[in-house]
Chains A and B, each alone.
Chain A
Amino acid sequence: MKLRPITAVALRQIYLMRSSPVRIMPMVAWVAVDIVLWGFIARYLNGVASGRVNFTASLLGAVLFWDFFTRVMQGVTMAFFEDIWSRNLINVFASPMLISEYLAGLVLTGVTTSFIGLIVMLIIASAVFGLQFAALGMLLLPFLLVLFLFGIALGVLASAMVLRLGPASEWLVWPIPALLSPFVGVFYPLSTLPAWMRGIGHLLPPSYVFEAMRAVVAGQSIQIAPLFISVALAALYVLLACLLFTAVHRYTVRSGLLARYSAESVS
């Protein structure tokens, strides 16, 4: 893999953000709104519960982690969609760039944009609502790593889906985080779920993060093994998503879909 084609994909997004500040707004506006909304809900619940439960840490922390995950996913897909919206797929895929370099470029873009959102969320959550993020200590690293990897996996999966099904399938991508959220237990323990949902939840790496985060907030000890499982699962999903994207790309080259991709929908 060469570094320059990878940076090209990310640099393109930076150019777009620099030339149009409106593009920065979605990266920070929605996460800011989420943090403010949930911050006040947590503050209200803290008052009702008279300090027996730390809702700021459990609710606001969960929102912050979940938003970070969705921003990673959207960062990857947005970079891919940019090539679709600007009808640039033929230019990109007719270049010497490898598919692995392209995917690495999408990931680099996802990293850049999601960390901008993360910083905004951290500032608001800690400055306005007093969230003690540092209380998570070194656990913060595996937590963010799992969410980051799973966000990349879903972003690449969603990109593969749109490459295969056509631009009109874009609307299928946006609800993916919302569809997953009941299964991963963002706001409640997995034990709350019926067995079949719990089974699905255990296959989703973020569920381990939210379980561990709640344990930390409740002052319980953390089991390291589940965290290792979640990292391994997330890494496996990244690998599978990249393999899927590569397979879909091969299919589009073989079937002629890539060369005719400007069509609204592709059968």
Chain B
Amino acid sequence: MLAGMVGSIGVLEGGTTGAFSASIAHSARPGPEGIHDPMATLALQASRLCKRYGELSAVEDVSFQVRHGEIVGLLGPNGAGKTTTINMVLGILRPSAGSVEIEGIDIARHRSRAMAHTNFAAVYATMPGNLTVHQNLRFFGLLYNVAGLNARIDTLLAELELSHLRNTRSGLLSSGEQTRLALAKALLNEPRLLLLDEPTASLDPSAADLIRGRIRAMAATGRCGILWTSHNMYEVQETCDRVLFVSHGRILLEGDPKALPQQHGATTLEELFIRLAREPLALPGRAS
């Protein structure tokens, strides 16, 4: 059963960068200015990222790219290295090796410039609960030096149906409302790279659908690349253009979430996920 999967994995492990480069050459879409140069359309390029804590390797030789207009799902079991990878992209965790470029800007050398093009929402990074919705957005809007901030806040409040909660303290919001606020914060600076770490984790199906729709619409503009982590395989299949399976700090598999299960003898993405999560040690070149 794993034979087909192992083939793909072997390619990725043997030459990850090459495999991704080929993927880009095949499917690069025009950027917002109609530029077809693949390098010009990259929102994010992570190259050979490693993070080691002493003997422990949290992320090992991970390379991937996110293009504008693309939603890339970063999947894997708990402790696989997803959040570590996102933290390195956000510049709050320095890689032991490798590099991260956002919009072609190396974050190790120009973190502030790179972060001006980036934003994120994560369940573990909630907004200060003692500020109101508007105060939070104003605070972060100033941090991100957003031009026309008042108008931008009004637009986002309306789009995410938060206008009536404008003067409500964030700590009093429901999970769904807090998620929408986090998304509003993440969209404040109209980022070219948006990182979403389980953005719908605590939402009811209706609220999650609203968020997914908003994110898909944002990607459809072609101005923004999105890196999304989720444990909801239905959601991933519906939303992501491409997925990366991560386990034990390595990318094991990459591809179209709708086609991958069939390519690897699974009926659903969830089945494939479970198999990869439980059997990563059976992969070639790894200790069993």
Q: Name A residues whose Cβ lies closer than 8 Å to a Cβ of B.
A: 2, 4-5, 7-8, 11-12, 15-16, 19-20, 82, 86-88, 90-98, 253-254, 256, 258-259, 262
Query: In the complex, given contacts A5-B145, A82-B128, what are 18 additional A-B residue pairs having Cβ atoms less than 8 angstroms apart?
Result: A4-B143, A7-B142, A8-B138, A8-B140, A11-B138, A12-B135, A20-B130, A86-B129, A86-B130, A88-B125, A90-B124, A91-B127, A95-B115, A253-B92, A254-B94, A259-B83, A259-B87, A259-B93
Q: Mark B72-92, 1 if CB is under 8 A from A, else 0.
A: 000000000001100100111
How many Å from the CB of A81 to the closest CB on chain B? 12
| A15 touching B131, Cβ below 8 Å | yes
Q: Which residues of B contact A92 (CB under 8 A)?
A: 143
Which of A2, A5, A87, A94 is packed against the most chain B CB atoms within 10 Å?
A94
- 7 example contacts (A-B, Cβ-Cβ < 8 A) are as follows A5-B145, A11-B139, A12-B131, A19-B169, A97-B143, A254-B94, A259-B93
| B143 touching A96, Cβ below 8 Å | yes
| A96 touching B93, Cβ below 8 Å | no
Bound CA span A256–B145, Å: 27
| A19 touching B124, Cβ below 8 Å | no
User: How many residues of B are counted as interface, with CB atoms below 8 angstroms from the partner's CB atoms?
Assistant: 37
Q: Does B207 contact A (CB under 8 A)?
A: no
| A8 touching B130, Cβ below 8 Å | no
- The listed residue (B53, B92, B129, B145) touching A94 by CB distance below 8 A is B92
Bound CA span A260–B112, Å: 21
Q: Which residues of A contact B139 (CB under 8 A)?
A: 8, 11-12, 15
- The listed residue (B122, B128, B129, B142) touching A8 by CB distance below 8 A is B142
- The listed residue (A11, A94, A259, A262) touching B142 by CB distance below 8 A is A11
Closest to A256 in B: B93
Q: Which residues of B contact A262 (CB under 8 A)?
A: 124
Closest to A249 in B: B92
Closest to B93 in A: A259
| B92 touching A93, Cβ below 8 Å | yes
Q: Which residues of A contact B116 (CB under 8 A)?
A: 96
Q: Does B221 contact A (CB under 8 A)?
A: no
- The listed residue (B93, B118, B145) touching A2 by CB distance below 8 A is B145
Q: Which residues of B contact A82 (CB under 8 A)?
A: 128
| A90 touching B93, Cβ below 8 Å | no
